Amino acid sequence: MQLSWPEIFTFVGKSLPEGRRVRSTALSDYALSIADMLRAHGVARGDRVALWITEGPTQIGAIFGCWLAGASFCVLPSFAGRTKTDRSQDRVRGVLATLQPKLLLQGDGLALPETLTGAFKTLELPGIDTITPSGTPPVDVLAQMSPDDLAFVQFTSGSTGGNARGAEVRFRQLLANLDALAARTRMTPADRMVSWAPMYHDMGLMAVLLPMRVGAELVLIETDHFVRRPAAWLEAISKYKGTVSTAPPTALKLLARRKAADIDLASWRYAWIGGEAVFPKVLEDFSAAYASAGLGEDVLHPTYGMAETVVGISCGVPGTRWQEMGGVVSCGPVLDGMGVAILDAQDAAVADGHEGRVMVRGPSVISGYLGLARHPENAWFETGDAGIMQDGLLYITGRLKDVLKRGAESYPATLVETIAEEALGLRTGRIAAFANLRADIGKEEIVLLVESRDWSEENARVVSVAVMAELGLQIDVVRNAQGGRLPRTSSGKLMRQLTASQYREGLI
Amino acid sequence: MTQLPKTTPWSPDDVIAVLRDLAQAEDLPAHLATDAIKPEDTVDTLGIDSLGGAFLIERFEEMTGTLMPDDFLDLSDNIAVIAERLTALTQKAG
């Protein structure tokens, strides 16, 4: 059980637009010093440590410092920074109450959100420059850990109020997934990963840990730097000759239009595209935009996965191009060691080419959520997605769970509905929030359908502003059901998926 | 798409026209295509998030032929301030 240090890490951010190269020996020394600080603050083997740190050497040092101290970590989700309302504060408190961190690590110079201030013992980490390099070889960061130890906790989009769901990822699950991904993507020490994905997201963590499984280099870009200047991502691939990178399709869509100039992408051999629905149009537009910059036709690989499987379930084979079936892209063959079954409503397996519920099992499936019931080992896990297997390739055709996605961030539909209903003074169950997959514009459109007899066009703005203020989420479409009723069960429960289906068919 | 000469000073109405275009193109919330939008409205009170803001910047760059600085747009900026900033940028570039 080991991770391999590359010789160099490169960090890019707003304050480091030209990039800063840090030797592994220095980062290892820094992680060891953080481990010492953790122990001095009472952190012991088996404890959990919360991280509120931006992407950079401090965050990587903190992650490895936790493991060196025998502790697990949790990069707090972005919503921990959004605490304008009582409900959003409750959501953060729910996460902290579930996580029960022994210590909260704060990035140097980074302000703590109000809800995190004083909630737990906090340690503001000094920057890496405060450490005097020892010149000794990098340490084995997993030396204190065993396969069944908790590696990290990742809170999922379903975490609301007192229902915080923190996926527990143990080292045996983490390493099984990293090995399967390394094998599928053919990662070697000669590769160089470039990532800007935040590490509270499974894709972001994978982008940091996958290269270290094989000793490949990492170029890590601050997420906020990418948000303010998206071209910085492709410029980094060009400048550092990145070979592997990861991004949600929204990033491709944005950069197909806001083109990065004077770049060479010929070194890029594998792009892990996921985190939200992937549409053919987005892949085609991006490929066309950067073909002249040397982007190969077989570089973009739509993938499928989730925090409950560490990150990956399926992804494309290098050297092959993604396939399209009825406007849906293939997410490659299932990873070695993982099993996928497509079941109908009666739990019977469907034939190839037929749509059903996607079930997954294998060595990377988590054993449960923190503080909640265990998931039996090797039992099938319901992904909440619909899909099709065809010719050995997995196609994800829709989402059955009540989750909305935008830019790879997930939001519970029920929470969005509650905020909107309160904003309009409506009773519970009078608004349905759902995703409308728009292959024509390459977008997962977020729709709120309102059942109200007292509707005015201004209500759309009222709802949008309320959701934006509380969740930072842009709502694309707010419509009134125009006198119609949203479909409900006989007991009065909103049938969200049926509402979405009827909306798509123009029946509402 | 709205076309403006690069050298024209930007007014709040020009910015509002861009918002309406992007709403019709389905990059920004649909209600912005028809809502009453005032110069003092801020980006976030129009229901636009950081990703929507990125599409807004992309359109400004396309129209002005000028790269926007990294800190050009904050979601708490209002329409009038954005128009002033665009005017200053295009004058500087011109």
For residue B70, list chain A residues with Cβ-Cβ distance below 8 A: 14, 225, 228-229
- The count of other CB atoms within 10 Å of the CB of residue A130 is 10
**How buried is residue A127: exposed, middle or buried, by Cβ count under 10 Å (0-12/13-18/19+)?**
middle
- pLDDT tier for residue A29 given thresholds of 50, 70 and 90: very high
pLDDT cut 70: percent of chain A above it: 98
If you average pLDDT over every residue of chain A, what do you get?
93
Q: Could you tell me if B76 lies within 8 Å of chain A, comparing CB atoms? A: no
Residue of B nearest to A471 (CA): B49
Determine, for residues B58 and A228 on separate chains, whether the beta-carbon distance falls below 8 Å.
no
Q: What is the pLDDT of residues A408-455, one digit of tens each?
A: 888 999 999 999 999 999 998 899 999 999 989 999 999 999 998 888
Q: What is the pLDDT of residue A262?
A: 93
For residue A366, the distance in angstroms to the closest alpha carbon of chain B comes to 31
| CA torsion angle A179 A184 A189 A193 (round to 10) | -100
How many beta-carbon contacts under 8 Å exist across A and B?
Answer: 74
Q: What is the pLDDT of residue A321?
A: 96
DSSP state of A7: S
Q: What is the pLDDT of residues A227-282, one digit of tens each?
A: 888 999 999 999 999 999 999 999 999 999 888 889 999 999 999 999 999 999 99
Q: What is the pLDDT of residues A135-187, one digit of tens each?
A: 899 999 999 899 999 999 999 866 555 578 899 999 999 999 999 999 999 99
Q: What is the pLDDT of residues A182-231, one digit of tens each?
A: 999 999 999 999 999 999 999 999 999 999 999 999 999 999 899 888 99
Determine, for residues A460 and B29 on separate chains, whether the beta-carbon distance falls below 8 Å.
yes
For residue B44, list chain A residues with Cβ-Cβ distance below 8 A: 465, 468-469
List the A166-170 sheet strands across, edge first. Answer: A122-124, A103-106, A48-52, A72-75, A150-155, A166-170
- pLDDT tier for residue B2 given thresholds of 50, 70 and 90: low
Q: What is the pLDDT of residue A14?
A: 82
Q: How far apart are CA A487 and CA A243, in angstroms?
A: 49
> Is residue A362's pLDDT more than 70?
yes
> Is residue B42's pLDDT more than 70?
yes
Q: What is the pLDDT of residue A252?
A: 96
Residue of B nearest to A15 (CA): B70
Determine, for residues B30 and A477 on separate chains, whether the beta-carbon distance falls below 8 Å.
yes
Q: What is the pLDDT of residue A483?
A: 66
Q: What is the pLDDT of residue B6?
A: 53
Q: Could you tell me if B29 lies within 8 Å of chain A, comparing CB atoms? A: yes
Residue of B nearest to A408 (CA): B51
Determine, for residues A441 and B26 on separate chains, whether the beta-carbon distance falls below 8 Å.
yes
Q: Could you tell me if B13 lies within 8 Å of chain A, comparing CB atoms? A: no
- pLDDT tier for residue A462 given thresholds of 50, 70 and 90: very high
Q: Could you tell me if B5 lies within 8 Å of chain A, comparing CB atoms? A: no
Residue of B nearest to A476 (CA): B29
Determine, for residues A258 and B47 on separate chains, whether the beta-carbon distance falls below 8 Å.
no
Q: Which carries the bigger pLDDT value, residue A400 or residue A163?
A: A400
Domain boundaries of chain B, sorted by first residue: 12-93
Q: What is the pLDDT of residues A61-113, one digit of tens each?
A: 999 999 999 999 999 988 887 767 788 788 888 889 999 999 999 998 888 88
> Is residue B3's pLDDT more than 60?
no
Residue of B nearest to A475 (CA): B29
Q: Could you tell me if B44 lies within 8 Å of chain A, comparing CB atoms? A: yes
Residues B12-93, CATH architecture:
Orthogonal Bundle (1.10)
Determine, for residues B47 and A465 on separate chains, whether the beta-carbon distance falls below 8 Å.
yes
- pLDDT tier for residue A17 given thresholds of 50, 70 and 90: confident
- pLDDT tier for residue A120 given thresholds of 50, 70 and 90: confident
Q: What is the pLDDT of residue B4?
A: 54
Find tokens 């028809």 and name the residue. B34
Q: Could you say which of B26, B47, B58 has the minimum Cβ distance to residue A475?
A: B47
* Number of residues assigned to chain B: 94
For residue B8, the distance in angstroms to the closest alpha carbon of chain A comes to 22
Q: What is the pLDDT of residue A361?
A: 96
Q: What is the pLDDT of residue A504?
A: 87
Partners of A185 in the beta sheet? none
Determine, for residues B50 and A250 on separate chains, whether the beta-carbon distance falls below 8 Å.
no
> Is residue B7's pLDDT more than 80?
no
* Number of residues assigned to chain A: 508
Q: What is the pLDDT of residue A409?
A: 85
Mutation for testing the A interface, residue in B26, B43, B48, B51 having most A CBs under 10 Å: B51
- Could you give the angle at the alpha carbon of A365 between the alpha carbons of A359 and A371, nearest 5°? 110
- Average pLDDT for A42-47: 96
- The count of other CB atoms within 10 Å of the CB of residue A401 is 16
Q: What is the pLDDT of residue A368?
A: 92
Beta carbons of A295 and A305 less than 8 angstroms apart = no
DSSP state of A189: T
> Is residue B1's pLDDT more than 60?
no
For residue A229, list chain B residues with Cβ-Cβ distance below 8 A: 70
For residue A467, list chain B residues with Cβ-Cβ distance below 8 A: 47
Q: Which two tokens stand for residue A290?
A: 């950067």
**How buried is residue A148: exposed, middle or buried, by Cβ count under 10 Å (0-12/13-18/19+)?**
exposed
Q: How far apart are CA B74 and CA B57, in angstroms?
A: 11
